[in-house]
A and B are shown apart, each in its own frame.
Chain A
Amino acid sequence: MKIILNNIHLLHPEQKIDKDKTDILLIDGVISKIGNLSKEDLNDAQEFDLSGKFIVPGFFDMHVHLREPGREDEETIISGCNSAANGGFTGIACMPNTEPAIDSAEVVTFIKRKAASHLVDVYPIAAATVGRKGEVISPMAELYENGAVGFSDDGVAIKTSAILRRALEYSKMFNTTVIEHCEDETLAGGSMNEGLNSTTLGLPPIPSVAEDIIVSRDILMAEYTGGKIHIAHISTKKSVEMVREAKKKGLNVTAEVTPHHFTLTDDAVKTYDTNTKMSPPLRTRADVEEILKGLKDGTIDCIASDHAPHSIEEKEMEFDYAPNGIIGLETEVGLTFTELYHNKVLTLNQIIEKLSINPRKILNLPVPKFEIGEQANLTILDPDEVWTVDISKFKSRSVNSPFNKRLLTGRAVGVINNKQIYFKGEFSDL
């Protein structure tokens, strides 16, 4: 099948492509021509007029919770992939806090098989220790061989420094990264960030130092072992500063931030809306300012959603009893453009790096290329589209988002990958 993407602005910071008002011809999902299309090319081709839209390498979210296996009522592998496509992503990495955890070749294979025919590529992150219990490192070699692209105890930090050391040393053999949820559990255990708001709301507090202590431990251990560490959902000022210093020293340390941690502060908790309860918790204005600085100067490598589906029954509860986390795949691009692009924190190219190129590099995955003969893996982007978040239109099985009814500027209008296109809410084969 022949399709033509007309009048697009092609952008690829790594390939140094910045070409406005051009056209791309795809034949069976493969890039066959860029620009200078002939009359012949137009024969039997389906044309998409995309004036004013950008075509960028397909977005990738390296921190997604698919609830399958275990909680298919909240999200399945397929519904999660649909949600990703609707949010503008062509690839995701899924975290191992499933039931059972992704700590065996069987579960890795199960996930890969379920996602195999989807437009969205799914790469499992396996547990760093058996059952995410922090006692024995998982069979990393076997997991890696079967398709795991990173290791994490996800939801908790690796329990002891000794096991963290082994995980970093062992994973070095495959050049993979250990992804850490940085939180000292002896200090955490509350419901929101510690500060004036937790005091006046009477909610059990989580001090920011709970994150900082583990970030500092992890950086020291990455330095000592030479292993690769990735700080998931960084949320505090101090942690950003420590990662910045680590990078200056040339250590193998990378970091991601979620859209909610650069958009909201703990002021949002004042309504006791359980969709403002997450781990790490929403922090203060000073933390958000440092995160924006870290995004700008490259300390923070990428943006990831920490997409965490929860059922309505579980979230519609007393604040203390509600589970942590919100879904994010379908608001991520909108929030990124609203908060970072239109507020002039990041350029379009920097956003493409943080939403497409860097996460793939951290996980040693190939970055999609815009070259003749390459399979098309791309996101169609309209940075200026103004739209209102409507949770009832989400493709995710869950609706736990604090951003419902929020006005956003910037949206992914479609994606192409694996010989499929998702456009205007529909999947079709190419």
Chain B
Amino acid sequence: MPLSSRHLLGLQGVPKEDINLILDTAKTFREVLERPIKKVPTLQGKTVVNLFYENSTRTRISFELAEKRLSADSVNFSVSTSSVSKGETLKDTIRNIEAMKVDMVVVRHSAAGTPLFLTKVCDSNIINAGDGAHEHPTQALLDMYSIKEKLGRLEGVKVCIVGDIAHSRVALSNIFGLKSVGAEVSVCGPSTMIPKNIEQLGVKVIYDIDEAIRENDVLNVLRIQLERKAREYFPSIREYSTFFGITEERLEKVGKEDILILHPGPINRGVELSSGVADGLKQIILRQVTNGVAVRMAVLYLLGTMN
């Protein structure tokens, strides 16, 4: 059974069956990654362009490896947004790239909605690798994969996303994806970082981190942006880490030392996670990274073999 869409723009409205198909397929590829020769010929002859308008090392390398391990030809195209504003339009860029006969485009852009825009101006399969504060579906899928790997299921699992929810595409994709497969989702963070009307998505809002730890099976802790602009939303890093940082003491106090903690990386040690907690998580966070390659292979494979 194929996916219901030929693009992966986000997880909003994506049916449970599609998500399970991606996660099940990822499991097969996860096994490939443990082999001495980590390569399959599945996408031989297909060309994938990684179109990155925003700096990213991890996501780009993860996609690139996924493409190479599926034997696709992949090309990286990185543009800084500042040079774009002076140069050619996105539409011209994508038309030029497509004229070189590509099959799939992985796009990251600081403006929400850009992947959808690309579906209207070109014929390739579009995969969203993060658009503004909108969605980052493959990150959410790898988070879900990692939860399922550890807990054996997603349905009924209680997940709390902690941090800057208002400006996070990871949060939004996780909310849509987890809700679709029947998990219970809550968010926790300073009230200035909780977007308006989020409860209408069926999400519980928690302001007390101890309560969030107590009531959930999983914490997905987001990276706090330390740039000045993000800092308008909370008084100081010290105050943030005091009231929302996850420390060993806090986990012990609540009696949940074994709670599953995910982090998309890179970690700000001493801010959202204490160094002790971060060190304890090394294994799961590195597994998340490996799972990321498998999930992206699954998405590329399922979309690339559709048409």
Contact = CB atoms under 8 A, between A and B. Distances in A.
Contact of B196 (A194, A203, A316, A321): A194
Contacts of A321: 85, 111
A393 B197 CA distance: 41
Contacts of A347: none
B263 interface: no
Given A318-B90, A318-B109, A201 B134 contact: yes
B197 A318 contact: no
A320 B131 CA distance: 11
A204 B131 CA distance: 12
A45 interface: no
Range class of the B interface residue count: 20 to 34
Contact of A317 (B90, B166, B195, B197): B90
A387 interface: no
Given A202-B131, A202-B134, A317-B90, A195 B112 contact: no
Tell me which of A195, A198, A199, A313 has the highest count of chain B C-beta atoms within 10 A of its own C-beta. A199
A203 B134 contact: yes
A423 interface: no
Interface residues of A, number: 20
A319 B89 contact: no
A188 to B, nearest CB: 15
B114 interface: yes
A201 B198 contact: no
A272 B116 contact: yes
Given A316-B89, A316-B91, A318-B90, A201 B113 contact: yes
Contact of B112 (A202, A313, A317): A202
B196 A320 contact: no
Given A202-B132, A203-B134, A316-B91, A272 B112 contact: yes
Contacts of A195: 196-197
Contacts of A196: 196-197, 200-201
B12 interface: yes
Given A196-B196, A200-B12, A272 B113 contact: yes
A206 to B, nearest CB: 11
A199 B91 contact: no
Interface string A162-175: 00000000000000
A205 interface: yes
B135 A202 contact: yes
Contacts of A199: 166, 172, 195-198, 201
Interface string B176-189: 00000000000000
A271 to B, nearest CB: 8
A293 to B, nearest CB: 23
A399 to B, nearest CB: 16
Task: Identify which of B89, B113, B197 gathers the most chain A CB atoms within 10 Å of its CB.
Answer: B113
Interface of A: 194-196, 198-205, 271-272, 313, 316-321
Given A199-B197, A201-B113, 4 more contacts: A200-B172, A201-B112, A202-B169, A316-B89
